Structure formats: structure tokens, C-alpha cells
Amino acid sequence: MSILIKGGNLLLSNSDGHSWARGDVRVAGSQIVAIGPNIEPQAGDMTIDAVGKMVAAGLVDTHAHLREPGREDQETIATGTKAAAAGGFTTIACMPNTTPPLDSGAVAAAVLQLAKEAAIRVVPVGCVTKGRQGKELAEIGELVEAGVWGITDDGNPVEDSELMRRALEYCRPFRIPVISHAEDPRLMGQGVMHEGFISTILGLPGIPAEAESVMVARDILLAKATNSWLHVAHVSTSESVELITRAKAKGVRVTCEATPHHLVLTDEAVRGFDTNTKVNPPLRSREHVQALRVALADGTIDCIATDHAPHTLEEKDCDYRQAAFGLIGLETALPLLITHLVKPGFLDLPTLWDRMSARPARLMGLTDHGLAIGKRADITIVDLELEKEVEPAKGFSRSQNTPFAGQRLIGWPVITIAGGRVAFGEVE
């Protein structure tokens, strides 16, 4: 199969960043074979008119929950990857808090078998501990062999510092990170939202910012001591950002991600008691959000990760205290960030693409990624002027737990090509 994308505004991937050019892109099989100002169509080419649209490397997500095996009522690899393709993603990492958990080569192989049929590429993440029980290390060697990009007990922290230290030591020769779900369970307590003015007004138990930051501090110290790679998941506090900034400056191998919801919402969103605003870590106050935005712009935050966390209506249609933590994010990540960060002039598109495509690809070791000749044909075409309402019922995810329902957003993916095949969008 061959595809010719005509007349787009190309955001080309270079070794030192991105550059704009007007032109065409030709895809043959699973590769980008030509990029240029006027490529002649060949017999059998499917032609896509991209005039007025942005054409760029596909988005990459280091952190999504696809729930399979075990919770197919929330999401499956098939539905989650369709949602991802609709959001402009061409590779996503699936998190290991499944049932059974992804703690062995056998479970990783089963997930990869299911992912063969998926709309886009799926890279698994393995567990740190067997059964996510926090007691003994998982079969890390097997997991690495199966192709995990990192290991984490995400959803839960690795409470035992000695075990965390051993996990970091074990991963060093494999050059993969331990991905920290940074949370001190005692400080978290029974909290359901950020601890502060709004939690006090609403009478809901709070989660202090330090519940995250103290664990970020611990994990940085352990990464430094073991000379290993720490990746901090869903960073949400200004103190975490400060600690990571200092650690990076001192040469500690630490990288991190932030989610779209932590970058565009504050704890004010909880005022209506919409349980779709309940997420872990919680939506923070304005000062924290501001610190995250600055860190995203200056590159301290390496990448944006959706933390797509699907939950059924039953798990969300209840009292705020009882509701499950998590919200879906694959289909809205890009338009949210274009609307709230790019359009107001806070971030430019090449920087957004660095954080949503180039850098996450680099972290995950995807050397075949980028809008350049010879790379894998993972391409997202975006209409930067398309304005649409978020309508979860019309989405591809099996779940609908988003706090953004009804919001009008601007800048949506219109076509996604993954591995040379159209994974999303209308083509002739």
C-alpha cells in the first residue's frame, strides 16, 4: 500500500529539533520513502489532500491504561488503540495494573499478541513487583526480553525503599527506567482531592502536595545512589518540579512526564463534585499548575503522558469519596493542549511536538520515529482551525469518564497513519 500526502504544512523531524516546510510526503509499505515540494503520484497511490493542514510525526504516549487483560468492561487493547489513533497517537505504552498484572514474560507476550491486531503500536510497561504486591521483584529479565520500555507498580507506589533501590539497580544494565508512581500512602491517607482551600470549602479529605514530593525526593536519592534511570510519572506539584530540576542539574538520570489534565485544570474543577475530576495525583491549585507549565516549556518536564484511565459509569456515578480515581485522555490530549497552551501563545507547536512525540519516542527507544525519510510511517494530520465539542459518547474509548465533556476545543487530528496504514480518519 502506498499513500501520497499532498500540500501539507510539514513539521519535519531533524536531529536537533523540528522545522517547517510546505510539501508532500510519500509512504510505501510501512515507511516514509519521500518528502519534497512536488512529488508525482504513482499508480496505486492513495492520495490525501493536506492543504491547510499540519502534517507531523505521530504522537507518542508513555503512559496509558488499556485494562486488558481483566477489565475489558473498562477498555480493551482494540478500543483503547482506536481512541489513541483518533487522538493522533501512533505508539502508546500500556500500563501493567491489569488482571493479572503484567509481571512476567508470559503476560507481556499475551498483551503483545493482542496488540498485533491493534490500530497502532503498543509497547508494554512491566511491573516492579510480583502481582504489584510490593513484596518481591517481578521477573524483570523476562519483561525486558519481551520489550517493556520500563517497569512500574503504577496505581500504587513501591513503598519499600529497599525494594525500590534494588529495582533501580537491577534495571541499570538493561538501560530501562523504573517509573515512579510517587505517593506516600500515609500522607495520602483517605484523601480524594488536593488538600487546600477548595478541599476545606467542600469538606472533602485532602491529599497534600507532599504526598507526592517526598517520594520524588526519595526516588531521586535512590537513583543517584544507584546511578540508575528514574522516570517520574504524572508529576503534579511545584516541589516535585524543583527537586527534578535540581537533580537534573546535578547529573542524576531522572526524566519525567506531566498529564494534559494537570496542565489545564486546577482543583477549582472539583467544585461541582463531578467525579470525572477525581484523579490520582489530584488536580492541584493554580501555583502548582503554573510551575508545571513553566517546567514543560523549559524542558524540565520531558514529555506529556495522558495517563488515560478508563472507568465504567458505575465506578464514577457515585459519591465523590467512593468514586474511582482516573480519567480518559487519549482523544482529547492534543486539542486540549493546542487550545489552552498553544493558541494563547504559551507554547509553540514545535515545542509541543517535542514533548508529545520526539522526546517520548526517545525515552521509549523508538529509533524509527520521526517525520523524515526512512522512518516508520507514523504520521498525524491536524486541522489547527477545526473547533469541536468534546462528546464522550461519540468517542472510541469504551469508557466516557472525562471532565471535559461539552467543552469546545480547537485543533483536532483528522487523519492518523500508523505503520503505513490509515488508523483514523476519512480518506477517499
Residues that bind ligand DOR (CB under 6 A): 65, 97, 154-155, 181, 279-280, 309, 325-326
Annotated active-site residue 307? The verdict is yes
State which residue, 380 or 397, has the beta carbon closest to ligand DOR. 397
- Smallest gap, in angstroms, from Cβ of residue 39 to ligand DOR? 44
E strands, 108-147, are: 121-124
- Nearest approach, Cβ of 181 to ligand DOR (angstroms)? 6
307/378 with CB nearer ligand DOR? 307
Q: Which is nearer to ligand DOR, 74 or 228 (CB)?
A: 74
Is 268:321 a contact under the CB 8 Å cutoff? no
Q: Out of 307, 319, 348, 368, which one is annotated catalytic?
A: 307
CA torsion through residues 316, 320, 322, 326, sign: positive
CA–CA separation, 208 vs 418, rounded Å?
41
Nearest distance in Å: CB 219, ligand DOR:
15
Angle at 310 between CA 159 and CA 399, to 5 degrees: 165
Q: How far is the CB of 66 from ligand DOR (least distance, A)?
A: 10
Four-residue CA torsion sign, 223, 224, 228, 233: positive
Nearer to ligand DOR, 279 or 363 (CB): 279
Tell the residue number behind the cell numbers 499540519, with chain if given.
54
CB of 282 to ligand DOR, least distance (A): 9
| Sign of the torsion angle spanned by Cα atoms 403, 408, 409, 414 | positive
User: Which of 181/194 has CB closer to ligand DOR?
Assistant: 181
Q: Which residue is nearest to ligand DOR (CB)?
A: 326
Task: Select from 263, 262, 282, 216 the least CA-distant residue to 243.
Answer: 216
Q: How far is 286 from 266, CA to CA, in rounded Å?
A: 6
What is the set of active-site residues? Answer: 307
